[in-house]
A and B are shown apart, each in its own frame.
Chain A
Amino acid sequence: MLLAQRGIAVESLRCRQLVGALTYLERMLEMVRTKRSTNEALVQDLYGGQEDPP
């Protein structure tokens, strides 16, 4: 569906194979999201990562 939304036509068999590979990517995305999902990290990000005013 993601591909169709972007106007990329991929036959259904190939889509099923890609869904299999997506599980690997999902694990990576989870790791990347988790790494920045603490309250402390969020506050730091809201301040643009700067501790002192420029």
Chain B
Amino acid sequence: MNSVLPPDRLTLAQAARLIRARRLSPVELMESCLARIEQFEPHVNAFAAMTAESALAGARHAETEIAGGVWRGPLHGIPVGIKDVIDVSGVPTRAQSRQMEDYVPLRNAASVARWLDAGALSLGKLTTHEFAFGSPDPALPRPPARNPWHTAHFAGGSSSGAAVGVACGMVLGALGSDTAGSVRSPAALCGMSGFKPGRACVNRRGTLALAPSLDALGVIAGSVEDCAMLFLALVEPAVQRAVGVDISGYPQLDAEVRGLRIGVVRNFFDDEPSVNTDCRAAVDAARMIFEDAGYTLTEVSLPPLAQWHAAGMVILLAEAFALHEYWLRTRIDLYGRSFSDAVLLGAAISAADYVHAVQMRRALTVDLDATMGKCDLLLAPIQGGEAPLLGALSQWGFLQRPSYGLPFNLSDNPALSLCCGFGKTGLPLAMQLIGRRGSEGSVLRAGYAYQRRTDWHRRLHLSGKPRSLN
């Protein structure tokens, strides 16, 4: 089988079409991913555990199936990775914590089972922050993932290994979890596309919770089209139909967008921490692309970011403390300091405070819904600029700096982060698109329309390897 491009330069969508046409062998694609793992993994630490042998055996099986006329859908024969808080049968779920050292699940998480049934091949578990929270901590079992654009920089979190694995072409798609932006932020800092759907879209059975009322599963890939393919394989047929899917299972993302309105959330760009000039310029340029695509852009405002952050952090810390209180009491030494210090703060939150935060969440969401009644989509920041240096991260940064991702975990709207340029130091810049609840398809279509008119998202893939490692 001969593909048009070398396998290590293909997007998931391109690879899927070539595999179906029998112009690319799943074995050839898997071997290309394994070669990239050998080349890059020692520099970027994306994997918590690798399952190369079973992945390669799966690729051989997929090749046989496809040659025999059995094609399971667009993910058949596609190498993927799974964040290490989501169960894969027979592979340890360590969650980057010594608390979980001996835990080997006996069955797949519901999300993983769906991907594997669709023919995806898991290359392993992707590294995270401890229990998907806190910051990189040198005392944890695995070293932190590093940004492939420059390995001295932060890869984002907590689905850091997922973003890095895709950015390096070691996997073509990854499954992550997102409680306060944990899919969208690493995707943003690594120049990838990251999609967090509404919580109810993807079954979370077999996934370690952080804050159950905020947790959602999401996907990271090299493009919005790739994200859509990964997402569609995770959801029920009703959601697939709502997004738009053709008879072969490919997403239908081309649609008439003329007249649809995008509200730019102006105050999120100006509230502390303010967005830097490079990122503002990149988003301003993106606005023109959306207008060119047919969208109408207006400016809107939402309640201040600080209010979203207050309600979200109180809820997150209270729920996380409730989950971990027993281990904090009985074996606190097995936690890293970054995670346990953060979660210990939850002890200071009273039941009344938690209820107040839940009420505030409801009020904020009502305000957001009123704004979304006037717009089809929102455009907001996801990061204030490029990835910071790993050494410049502060342990309490998550409290000091409001997250641009958390508001849409509180409101449960689908949200997508995507690359919209590069900053002065050559690292990616990104923006965030948010849709109405239940309108996952409109978010994906807007992101796809943008990426059809730009090539920011393809730079890493086209270069063949991360620039900092050349």
Which residues from A are CB-within-8-Å of B363?
35
Q: Please, how many angstroms separate the alpha-carbon atoms of A36 and B329 in the complex?
A: 33
Q: Which residue on chain A has the smallest CB distance to residue B328?
A: A8
- Kindly identify which residue among B325, B332, B356, B362 contacts A9, using a CB–CB cutoff of 8 Å: B332
* B interface majority secondary structure: helix
* A interface majority secondary structure: helix
Q: Please, how many angstroms separate the alpha-carbon atoms of A8 and B340 in the complex?
A: 11
Do A24 and B348 have beta carbons less than 8 Å apart?
no
Do B399 and A21 have beta carbons less than 8 Å apart?
yes
CB distance from A17 to the nearest CB of B (A): 7
Known A-B contacts A10-B332, A25-B317, A28-B313; A33 and B356 likewise in contact (beta carbons under 8 Å) = yes
Say yes or no for B371: interface residue by CB 8 A criterion.
Answer: no
Say yes or no for B359: interface residue by CB 8 A criterion.
Answer: yes
Q: Please, how many angstroms separate the alpha-carbon atoms of A28 and B245 in the complex?
A: 43
Say yes or no for A43: interface residue by CB 8 A criterion.
Answer: no
- Kindly identify which residue among B311, B332, B396 contacts A8, using a CB–CB cutoff of 8 Å: B332
| A27-44 interface with B by 8 A CB criterion | 27-29, 31-33, 35-36
Say yes or no for A7: interface residue by CB 8 A criterion.
Answer: yes
Do A32 and B311 have beta carbons less than 8 Å apart?
yes
Q: Which residue on chain B has the smallest CB distance to residue A30?
A: B310
Offer 15 A-B interface pairs, CB within 8 angstroms, sorted by A. A3-B347, A10-B344, A17-B341, A18-B341, A18-B344, A21-B345, A21-B396, A24-B396, A25-B317, A25-B348, A27-B310, A29-B314, A32-B356, A32-B357, A32-B360
B contact residues vs A (CB 8 Å cutoff): 306-307, 309-311, 313-314, 317, 325, 328-329, 332, 341, 344-345, 347-349, 353, 356-357, 359-360, 362-363, 396, 399-400
Which 4 A/B pairs are nearest by Cβ-Cβ distance?
A: A28-B310, A24-B399, A31-B310, A32-B356
